[in-house]
Structure 1
Amino acid sequence: MSLEERINDLEGRLAFQDDTIQALNDVLVKQQNVVDRLQLQMAALLKRHAELVGQFEAVEEEAPPPHY
């Protein structure tokens, strides 16, 4: 294999690796956006859950009926 062929081979590999790294980066950015959105949704659900639990705790604090 001549030096020129080896250089061409290395340049081809480098171009392929650059494309692969860019594709992986694009996927990573999309996944991070999804994770960020899911974290916001989870925080909203936890807040709503705490509100609902607070409402039910107020009802449960009432004394049981006399037949208990």
Structure 2
Amino acid sequence: MQEIEEKLAHLIRTVEDLSDVVAAQQKDIDVLNRRVEMLMRREAEREADAGSHIYTGQERPPHY
């Protein structure tokens, strides 16, 4: 009976550790998803602004 209790305690601890790992991974996934969304918005804005670029004296217009 003591051996079963020891194994059960070990399994409970392992499940708790795995739960902590999964929770940490979910936080990382959430952060990464927000970053990807931000980058996608930024790229969409960049593509939308592609035609409204103001050229400075140092740059050559694309038709040269």
The verdict on a shared fold, with TM-score over 0.5 as the criterion, is yes
Please report the TM-score for the alignment, with normalisation by the length of structure 1.
0.74
Q: Which has the higher helix share?
A: 1
Q: Would you say 1:54 and 2:48 are equivalent positions?
A: yes
* CA deviation vs aligned residue, 1:9-66 (integer Å, no higher than 9, x gap): 100000000000000000000000000010001100000000001111x25xxxx85x
C-alpha separation between the residues in 2 aligned to 1:24 and 1:17?
Answer: 10
Please report the TM-score for the alignment, with normalisation by the length of structure 2.
0.78
Q: 2:58: which partner in 1?
A: none
Count of residue correspondences = 56
- Percent identity, aligned pairs only? 30
Deviation above 2 Å: which 4+ runs of structure 1?
none
Aligned-pair Cα RMSD in Å: 1.9
* Gaps in structure 2 of 5+ consecutive residues: 53-61
* Gaps in structure 1 of 5+ consecutive residues: 1-6
- Where relative contact order (Cα < 8 A, 6+ residues apart) is larger, the structure is 2
Computing the radius of gyration over CA atoms, which structure comes out larger, 1 or 2? 1
Q: Would you say 1:42 and 2:41 are equivalent positions?
A: no
